Every structure is written in C-alpha cells, then in structure tokens.
C-alpha cells in the first residue's frame, strides 16, 4: 500500500529537461513508498493551474507536484510566467488544502543552469511528502 498518491503536472516546453525531472520524481516517489498515479502534460508552466486544480479535485490524489523549467529569454517573459504561475499554484494549494510543490526551476536561468537543476523533480516529491506528513500532525 502506498503512503501518498501523487499527481504530477509537467510542462512540455523544454521537454528534454522536464522529462528528466519526471523520471527523478518517479524514483523519489518509489523510495518514499509513494506513487505518481497520474501525469498531466501541459504546454508550459503558465498553463499548469487548471490541470493542478483538476487533480486537486480528485479524492484519490493526496498531493500534486509541478515540474517545469523557465529559461531566460531576450525579454522579461520568464519573470512574468514564473511569478504568475507560482502565485496561482500557491493559491490552489490553499483553496483545496492539499500540498502542491513547486518543482519549477527558473526564472533568470540559462539552459545550462536548467540542466544543473533537473533534481528539482526529486525535490518536488520530497517537499510534497513532507507537507503531507506535517499536515497529518496538525
């Protein structure tokens, strides 16, 4: 029996990075006796909130992880995407009273920086599981 059932929302943008993040997340979930039971691919980080909400509405999902990489471009677009997405993600966690971990690297990073941060997939699972444990104690 698994400890927690995890939903994952994964950005397709920068898929080479987010796919590695997802694989690390799956390994970490197994190590922690949890399971990623549903993966929802979305076009990009900005598109995550609706998919997160749909997962949080499910009774058989205990927590949601988000996986994405927001890489710096020639404009401030990366800043806008990361700020708005992270704010809405936090709001959804509060609204549904379930943990939603932020496994999104960036903004303001290069592609090389993003490669160095694929372990955010593992960290997202770690944070989600810890929050589930802590909320049980309250």
Q: Binding site: what residues are annotated?
A: 13, 45-47, 69-71, 74-75, 102, 111
Q: Binding site for (2S)-2-hydroxy-3-oxobutyl phosphate: what residues are annotated?
A: 74-75, 111
Q: Which of 19, 77, 84, 115 is flagged as catalytic? A: 77
Q: Binding site for 5-amino-6-(D-ribitylamino)uracil: what residues are annotated?
A: 13, 45-47, 69-71, 102
In the residue annotation, 77 being an active-site residue is answered as yes
Peptide bond between residue 75 and the one before it cis (omega within 30 degrees of 0): no
Cα(135)–Cα(98) distance, integer angstroms: 9
3-state SS, residue 99: coil
Within 10 angstroms of residue 79's Cβ, the number of other Cβ atoms is 15
Tokens of 50: 């609706």
Residues with a catalytic annotation lie at 77
């Amino acid at each position: 029996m698994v400890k927690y059932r995890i939903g994952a929302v994964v950005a397709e943008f920068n898929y080479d990075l987010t796919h590695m993040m997802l694989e690390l997340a799956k390994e970490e979930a197994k190590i922690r006796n949890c399971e990623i039971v549903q993966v929802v691919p979305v076009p990009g980080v900005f598109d995550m909130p609706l998919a997160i909400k749909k997962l949080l509405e499910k009774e058989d999902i205990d927590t949601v992880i988000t996986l994405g990489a927001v890489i710096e471009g020639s404009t401030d677009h990366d800043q806008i995407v990361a700020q708005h997405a992270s704010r809405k993600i936090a709001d959804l966690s509060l609204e549904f009273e379930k943990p939603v971990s932020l496994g999104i690297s960036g903004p303001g990073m290069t592609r090389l920086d993003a490669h160095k941060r694929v372990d955010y997939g593992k960290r997202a699972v770690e944070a989600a599981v810890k929050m589930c444990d802590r909320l049980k104690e309250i």
